[in-house]
Every structure is written in C-alpha cells, then in structure tokens.
Structure 1
Amino acid sequence: MAEISEETLKKAEEFKLTANDHFGKQKYALAIDFYSKAIELNSKNAVYLSNRAFAYAKLEQYGAALQDASAAIDVDPKYIKAYYRRGSANLLLGKYKEALKDFKKVVGILPKNAEAQEKFKQCEKIVRQMAFESAIATEDEKPLSETLDVESISVESSYDGPHLMDGKVDLSFVQQLVAHLKAQKKLHTKYLYQILIEMKKLLCKLPSLIDIEVPEGNSFSVCGDTHGQYYDLLNIFEINGQPSIENPYLCESQMSTRKLIPPVNGDYVDRGSFSLELVLTLFAYKLLYPDHVHLMRGNHETINMNRMYGFEGEVTQKYSKKCFDLFTEVFNWLPLSACLNKKVIIVHGGLFSKDGVKLDDMRKISRNRQPPDEGLMCELLWSDPSPFPGRSPNKRGVGVAFGPDVTHKFLKDNNLQMVVRSHEVKEEGYLVEADGKLVTVFSAPNYCDSVGNKGALIRFDSQMNPKYVQFTAVPHPAIKPMAYASNYNMFMK
C-alpha cells in the first residue's frame, strides 16, 4: 500500500471530527457519511472503522456495525474498543456466544473496566440461561397458558381497576382499561392472564397472512411501529377517531356498521417505556372486535429483542417473568402479514431473498416460534428496501436488502398494486419508494424522545388509494425510553 500523504491524513482527520460532531447531535446517517469519507482516505485507521460501527449500531444496522468492528480489529488487533463494539453488535443480533468471546477478550485486558465487566456478566448469564432452558426442555412440555390456574387467583378488595366479567372483554371494560392505564395504574394480574390466554386462543386460529376486505365507499387505516409510545397511540385514536359505532373505521355491509382500530404493523413493544400499556390496550380491542382489529408481528415481538430493548424488563418489573413468558406465547401466534382487497400487501419488514414467493406461501408459514435467521418468516420481519436494483446483504445483519425491481416483480407475480411496510423511522413519518409501489409508515413520533421525526398513518379508500396522515408527539409521564432495557452502550470510556 502506498504511503498516505500528510495532507490526506489531515483531511481524513477533519472528516472524522465532522462525523463526531454529527454523531453528538444524533445525526447518525450524516456521521456515517463523513466516517466513510475518512475511511476512503485512510482505510487503515481502526478508530474510523470502530466509530462508524457505533453509528451503524445507533441506526440498528448491526450487520454493518459487526463488519466495521471486525475490520477495525483486522487493522489493529490491539484496539480494545473494536472488540467491545463487535461484542455489542453480536449481542444485539442475538449471537450471545460470539459476544461472550469478545467481552472475555476485553475484560482480560481491562479487568477493572466496569462497562466491560457488566457486558461480560450479562452475556454469560444469557448463555447459561439458554443452556439451562435447553437442558430442561421436553417435547411434551405443556405451554404456560395451558397450566396456569387463573381461576384460583383472587382479586383484592383494594384493587380499584376494571374487572373482567366472566373473563370476557366488553366495551365498558376497554374504556375503563384505557383510563386506568393512562393514569399509570396496573391491571390486576388475574385479568392480564385472562386477556393473554384468550388472545392466544384467538390468534392461533388465524393464518400467517390474513385477508381483509374494505367495502365500497369505506376506508381503512394502517399504522406502523409504535414502540411502547402509549400516549402517542392514544393520540392516534384522537386524530383518527375513537373506535365506536358512531365513528366506524370499516362498514361490514351497507346494512350495519362494525368498528375497527387501524391495524398496527408490528413493533408494539421495546424502547418506549409504556410497551405493556400499549400492547395490552391493543389486545383488549382485538378481543372486543376480533374480526375488525388486525395486529401483525414485528421483529420486536421476539425474545432476543425484548431481552435487549426493554419489554422483558418492563413486564418483569411491573408483573413477573411468568407474565413475560405468556406474552411470548401470544407474540408467537401474531400473523405475519395482511392483504387488503387483494391489492395491498402489508408486512413489517419487507420482501424475500428469492423470486417466485406467492401469497399462498406466506399463508402457510409455520409461525408459532421464534423467527429463524433466514427464510420467509425472517425476511418478512427483518428485510429493508434499497434504492439499488437486485438484492444485497441487509445492513441490519438479518434479512435482505431488496431493490425496486424486486418489489415490482413481487407485485406483478401476485397481481398486487402496493407493498406497505414499517420497520424504519422516517423523518416525515412515511416514505414512498419504488415508483410509488412501496411505502414505509412509522407511527412513533419523536422516536425515543430524541429523533424529532413525525409519525404517520395511511388511510386507504376501498380502491386502495392512499392518504397519508401525519402527527407529532404528545407529552407523556416522565419515564425515559429504554428505562427497562439492558445497558448495551457501545462506547468505552
């Protein structure tokens, strides 16, 4: 390799400083651009690569973060921050054994570093827990939902929240529940168990792709990620109209009206610190109107994500680990996609690593499990669109990046007109791509109280013409996002 001139080294360092400034302002995409410019001038600087890995991780592009951290280690095998950041990326990808190796390396060199020790112990605990669960698991073991003795749980006279009558959800219960949760009060454990058990019974009867009909003259609304931002969800109901007979979202026929909450396209939980309240409200509405409330699974309705981003910690703190395990059972049965009027397909992540996938293939996906690392289920939850033709590795490290041509071919093969997906924060709350054939909708405004983005929903008429409705964040109680999450800081002091 030719020697780099002093002038070039100086320019690379200027790019790094500019990138650091953007990073400090949480403008991570711009930071990546300037780190990349620095790397183009000096590809043998481990700091540039490691810093870009950190920025990629902030955008949840853990595959790219892993690649950069590994490249930094190749450049400088003694650069300890790179091991820390690679370990963090592996941890966030659910690659716990690989993460453990990196953190072991870090604590071996820096035995007194508290952050490294915490990460090492965290990984070690997870690996041991997984080994223990694998050792005690049996094929004929009954799920928790079938062994819980809910009826034996008593409701204390001091409890001042809503009561389920005969275990059934009615409109009065839902209205009281929303008011109770909005006031930061807990639903009784007995009723929480009953709702989750009934939700599982309801969801397991559904196919992995649900078909929805929007009658002539009516409209249908679609929301994207809400990520535990409960008070913003309630604001959506205010903006789009409260579900009621007087204000229907969908008419079942010209003779009668039925109610519909906008279908929420996965990622109800994690990050925001009111995930439990949000998902519980949606589940209650689903039980109230089972044919007119539609909920799909996102990549965050999974154990790995819940473990790192807060939902497991939130449920365990507010209720118990048993409650979290029951939520996991329910999440496993959430449908993976929906089709509106045989024209618009709704998925959380995106499309596939191969051509020729038909809607029937999506209907037949066996979903009662944690998502695998590849295949249709994984790609529905994790893939992202790319502006470039064809397919390429996804920067998240999971799923695939698919170009506009892939979108067009999938739509043509299945006689559809549009793909709606979520999975990515967008400054305006939505982004239209692929010549208008693909739209990303994101419904968590000012994501994590820091991004400053708008939220959006899509309102389709019966001809599947979209109208985009934007909104801004509303105040919430003073509990910060990620309050219940694992500490996964990728920076070492």
Structure 2
Amino acid sequence: MLNMPSTVAEDAAKAVELKNEGNVQIKKLNYPKAIEFYTMAIELDGTQSIYFSNRALAHLKLDNFQSSLHDCETALKLNPKNIKAYHRRGLSYVGLLEFKKARNDLQVVLKGKPGDTTATRALEVCEKFIREERFRKAIGDDGESNKARFCETVRLDTFDSNADLLKYEGPKLTLFQLSDEKGDCAGAEISDMNPEFISKLVEMFTQGKNLPKKYAAAIVSHANRLFRKEPTVVELCNRETPDAKITVCGDTHGQLYDVLNLFRKFGKVGPKHTYLFNGDFVDRGSWSCEVALLFYCLKIVYPHNFYLNRGNHETNNMNKIYGFEDECNYKYSSRIFDMFAESFESLPLATIINDDYLVMHGGLPSDTSCSLEDFKKIDRFSQPPREGAFMELLWSDPQEADGFGPSQRGLGFAFGADITKQFLEKNKLKKIFRSHEVRMSGVQFEHDGKLATVFSAPNYCDTQGNLGGVIHVVPGEGKLLQNGNDDENLIVETFEAVPHPEIKPMAYSNGGLGF
C-alpha cells in the first residue's frame, strides 16, 4: 500500500489516520503496536512533529530511552514549541541517567505548564541525583571508596524500642548479633529460620502486614553474608541427580501474588528443587519489599537450593526511579533500603548450569574477547559502571541482525545471533538463558534456538497481557517441541497472572516516574 502512487494530500490524510490508530493503541497499552502505526504515519509524512513525539511516548513506555530521545529531538527540530517533546525528552534523559540534561528539559516544560505533576516529580528526582553527585565530588568520594557496610555493621539493639517490634504478633525469630575479634558488630544471624516461618510470613504479607524493622535488618544482613560467599559466576549441576530439578525464572518485579502462584504451580524450593531467579525481583510492582524478603528468607533456609542473579534493577539508580526505594522507606525505613542496596551489590552476576547453560540477566559483552573466565574475575561488589562487561551483563539485549548494534535503551548494546554462537562455541556451552525483556509467550527462543529469554512477571505492570514463563533443567527428561524447546534436557512452562489486591504498580513511589 505504501508504494502505490498517491498525491501528497492523500499521503498526509492517510498518515493522520495511522497516527490516530497509534493513539488508540496507546490507550490500549499496546505500545509495540502503537510504534508500528506511528512509524507508518512517519513514512507517509515525516513533517509532523507530533508523530515523532507520540512515538517517543510509546518508546518510553517500553524503556527504549535512546529511541525515545531520537524521536524527541526530531520532533523539536520540526516544532521547537512542542512541549510534549521536551517533556518526553526529559524523561528519556532520566532513563539514561543524564540528570542535568533532563533538568533542563523539565524546566522548559514547567515554564509552559506550571504545576505539571509528572514533570515536577521528575525534576525533584533530577535535583536529588545532581545534589548527591555534587556532594560526592566536593568530598572527593567516588561513591565506592570508604563505603559504610550497613549489613556488616548493623546493631540489632538499636531496633529494640521501635513500636513495630513491641506490637508485633507474627511468627518469631531468634536473632544473634555477630561481632569480630575486636568486639565490633559484624552483622546478624538467624538461628531458627525454617519453612514454617516462611509459610506464616507469606500469610502475613498477603494480609498487608510488615515485619518489624529488626527482623528485616537481620534477614537482609544474614542473606547478604551468604551472597558475599558465592562466586561472581555460580556453578550448579544436576547431571548426576536428574530427579533434582533446577528451575530458571526471569524478572518478577515485585509481583508477589504471581511469585506465590509460580511456587504453587511448579513446586516449592527444597533439596530436590533448586530455583534460580535471574534478576529484577524489585521495582515496578508494589510488593517489591515482600518479594525481596521472601527470596532472602528462602536463601537462608535453602542456601544450596535457592539462588539470585543480579539484574539491572538491583541498582541504586533504578531503585530511586522505579519505586523500590520509596516503597522500602514507606514500609520500613531508609536504613533498611541502604541494607538492601548493599546486599544487591553482593549478588552474583551469572550462573552456569551443568557446564551447558549460561544464565545472566541482560546480554553478552561487546568485547568479543571476553570469556567466562573474565566474568569470574569481575569485582561485582559495587554499583555497575556505565560501560564494560559488568554493565552489559545486566543491560544488553539480543537483536535480529548479526554483529553489535546500538541499544534502544541507551545502555549496553544489542547483539546478534553470530555473537551468541561465537561465545557459546568459544566457551563450550549449549545455550544462553537471559531475561530483562517482556516476552508475550513468557519464554522465547531466539538466535537459532541458542538463546532463550525467560520473563516471569505475567501481565507485567498490570498492562501487558503477557504470560510468565520458566525453564526447568531436567537432564534427559525434557519435553521437545514444547513452547519452542529443542533440548532434551529442558522443560519450558508458562503461567498466567493471578488476581491481586487493588494496588497499582509503583503505588508507594514519590519520585518514581512510571514513564
């Protein structure tokens, strides 16, 4: 249709229809489809600023910050007075963690639309980040040196007079204050965490109740110590015990009720069932504290059957933007958030299963000489840098084209099937499992079947309508052709979202933007 001869007027009229259909898809929350319609409109008439700024909104909703930025810049060239383009470019810069540039655009928005709620909140976030950065530079601190070790130095007795502890009627724990050879505090230990406590904890969470801060602090401190003892690349194996299943799960993003359903559907954690959650278990969803505490309790009870890889949302910048910090401050305290933030730095970056499957949250590094041995040498106990293998393991995505391309997110790179094949051959692996992106089918095999994206947050953010998925590693007991599987050692299963209380995503967020 687009190649048929037509007058400029006919093209322009058709472009308006396509733009309007894109707007309909935005209202339906079908952002990929909206991008398709806006793109067709632009192909017919590339002179309309609004087409680009509308497509920028759809890209924002998909966290494609770099693509959104490009569209906003084109929109502003066509119409320098397009206030929505300034607004969306400002939010794109926030997503790209370029807060000074974001501040400039948001100030323009607020001059034209004083009191705009979203722009005001976004500007407050930017000002906070800029102040923190200015303070670090003033004291000569790079943000990593001489950091307080909150989990290791926590004093449990400082929580004893808190009202939440005095009024607590839930399941009890026995907590111990650890100390070093000098008698200084060295973290907390829980002696009697067990499956019964976890069951009662889940019941309490589904009743909308919180743990006392003292319990939360002890749980995070104890779990952090376990994570720190693990290597940067964890190695799991069930080749000799095929009846012991290993289940790989993707993003869960604070969707507690779907996490609980996942365990009901696929089985509880135990000596015969190991779970690996592949990052992004906080942010977005409004039960991120509950999911994190549940996972940490499972780690304490089943240290050799429950594992967590770090995702790009287990980082300070993401937590400040996407809601976890605000939720943690609301339900617990800034001190508990600081402990969580430290524990996130302790999480492994990747896992190898049976010397066959590499599992990491994002994607492969842009340095093709980088190997598994190089991954193992990464000093992970920090916030990830803006470039390099550490960051790319958390941020990069696959693409259809070969080679490397720019990331639509603006962080990391897009990598092709040839890069995946080369890495697998070089490191003698069969497949890569990664997460980081919604897949409507829950699990999607890509790159000639050598890479699988697994996403375990069904109906993501209550809007996407996607299935959740998991991959079970069961040597010799796999189900071929099921959900695209071609491996006799794998079972690929999906699940639907379940009802939850009427609390919207990011419900506790003060500065979270939602995009």
Q: Is the 8 A contact 2:352 2:358 kept in 1?
A: yes
Q: TM-score, normalising length from structure 1?
A: 0.92
User: AA paired with 1:13?
Assistant: V
Look up the match of 1:208: 232
Look up the match of 1:55: 58
Look up the match of 1:170: 194
User: AA paired with 2:24?
Assistant: D
Look up the match of 2:109: 106
Look up the match of 1:255: none
Look up the match of 2:77: 74
Shift in Å at residue 489 of structure 1? 6.1
Residue 334 (structure 2) aligned to one of 317, 321, 334: 321
Question: Do the aligned partners of residues 244 and 118 (structure 1) sit closer, same or farther apart at CA in structure 2, a change above 3 Å counting?
Answer: closer
**Of 47-56 and 111-120, the range deviating more from structure 2:** 111-120
Residue 144 (structure 1) aligned to one of 150, 156, 159: 150
Look up the match of 1:190: 214
Q: Is the 8 A contact 1:207 1:364 kept in 2?
A: no
Look up the match of 1:257: none
Match status 1:226 vs 2:252: yes
**Of 187-196 and 104-113, the range deviating more from structure 2:** 104-113
- Report Cα offsets for 1:222-244 as digits up to 9, x if no partner: 11111101111111111111234
Listed as ranges, the matches of 1:453-472 within 5 Å are 453-462=466-475, 465-472=489-496
2 CA distance for matches of 1:232 and 1:134?
A: 42
1 CA distance for matches of 2:121 and 2:196?
A: 46
- Report Cα offsets for 1:182-230 as digits up to 9, x if no partner: 3221111111111111122221222211111113323311111111011
Percent of aligned pairs with the same amino acid: 42
Look up the match of 1:33: 36
Matched residue SS, 1:226? coil
**Of 112-121 and 349-358, the range deviating more from structure 2:** 112-121
Question: Do the aligned partners of residues 465 and 81 (structure 1) sit closer, same or farther apart at CA in structure 2, a change above 3 Å counting?
Answer: same
User: AA paired with 2:174?
Assistant: M
Look up the match of 2:169: 160
Match status 1:281 vs 2:305: no
- Report Cα offsets for 1:271-313 as digits up to 9, x if no partner: 1111110111111111112122111011111111111111111
Match status 1:236 vs 2:242: no
User: AA paired with 2:496?
Assistant: T
Look up the match of 1:12: 15
Q: Is the 8 A contact 2:420 2:450 kept in 1?
A: yes
Match status 1:409 vs 2:448: no
Shift in Å at residue 34 of structure 1? 1.2
Matched residue SS, 1:204? helix
User: AA paired with 1:233?
Assistant: V
Question: Do the aligned partners of residues 142 and 18 (structure 1) sit closer, same or farther apart at CA in structure 2, a change above 3 Å counting?
Answer: closer
Question: Do the aligned partners of residues 184 and 114 (structure 1) sit closer, same or farther apart at CA in structure 2, a change above 3 Å counting?
Answer: closer
**Of 170-179 and 262-271, the range deviating more from structure 2:** 170-179
Question: Do the aligned partners of residues 274 and 357 (structure 1) sit closer, same or farther apart at CA in structure 2, a change above 3 Å counting?
Answer: same
2 CA distance for matches of 1:28 and 1:45?
A: 20
- Report Cα offsets for 1:343-369 as digits up to 9, x if no partner: 000010111213122111111111111
Shift in Å at residue 146 of structure 1? 3.6
1 CA distance for matches of 2:25 and 2:110?
A: 30
- Report Cα offsets for 1:360-393 as digits up to 9, x if no partner: 1111111111111111011111111111111100
Residue 440 (structure 1) aligned to one of 453, 463, 469: 453
Look up the match of 1:254: none
User: AA paired with 1:479?
Assistant: I
- Report Cα offsets for 1:469-491 as digits up to 9, x if no partner: 1111112122111212335366x
2 CA distance for matches of 1:317 and 1:64?
A: 34
Unaligned segments of structure 2, at least 5 residues: 1-6, 176-189, 477-487
Matched residue SS, 1:473? coil
Q: Is the 8 A contact 1:107 1:120 kept in 2?
A: no
Matched residue SS, 2:247? strand
Structure 1: 4+ residue segments shifted above 6 A: none
**Of 445-454 and 104-113, the range deviating more from structure 2:** 104-113
1 CA distance for matches of 2:158 and 2:325?
A: 25
User: AA paired with 1:174?
Assistant: I
Matched residue SS, 1:35? helix
Match status 1:484 vs 2:491: no
Q: Is the 8 A contact 1:407 1:438 kept in 2?
A: yes
Matched residue SS, 1:108? helix
Q: TM-score, normalising length from structure 2?
A: 0.88
User: AA paired with 1:108?
Assistant: K
1 CA distance for matches of 2:295 and 2:51?
A: 44
Shift in Å at residue 417 of structure 1? 0.3
User: AA paired with 2:168?
Assistant: Y
2 CA distance for matches of 1:89 and 1:479?
A: 26
RMSD: 2.0
Q: Is the 8 A contact 2:270 2:302 kept in 1?
A: no
Q: Is the 8 A contact 2:367 2:389 kept in 1?
A: no
Matched residue SS, 1:459? strand
Shift in Å at residue 163 of structure 1? 2.1
Question: Do the aligned partners of residues 148 and 58 (structure 1) sit closer, same or farther apart at CA in structure 2, a change above 3 Å counting?
Answer: same
2 CA distance for matches of 1:141 and 1:227?
A: 27
Shift in Å at residue 113 of structure 1? 4.2
Residue 352 (structure 1) aligned to one of 365, 373, 383: 365
Q: Is the 8 A contact 1:162 1:187 kept in 2?
A: no
2 CA distance for matches of 1:163 and 1:136?
A: 43
1 CA distance for matches of 2:41 and 2:365?
A: 34
User: What number of residue pairs does the alignment pair up?
Assistant: 475
Shift in Å at residue 9 of structure 1? 1.4
Question: Do the aligned partners of residues 70 and 465 (structure 1) sit closer, same or farther apart at CA in structure 2, a change above 3 Å counting?
Answer: same
Question: Do the aligned partners of residues 41 and 127 (structure 1) sit closer, same or farther apart at CA in structure 2, a change above 3 Å counting?
Answer: same
Question: Do the aligned partners of residues 469 and 37 (structure 1) sit closer, same or farther apart at CA in structure 2, a change above 3 Å counting?
Answer: same
Unaligned segments of structure 1, at least 5 residues: 250-259
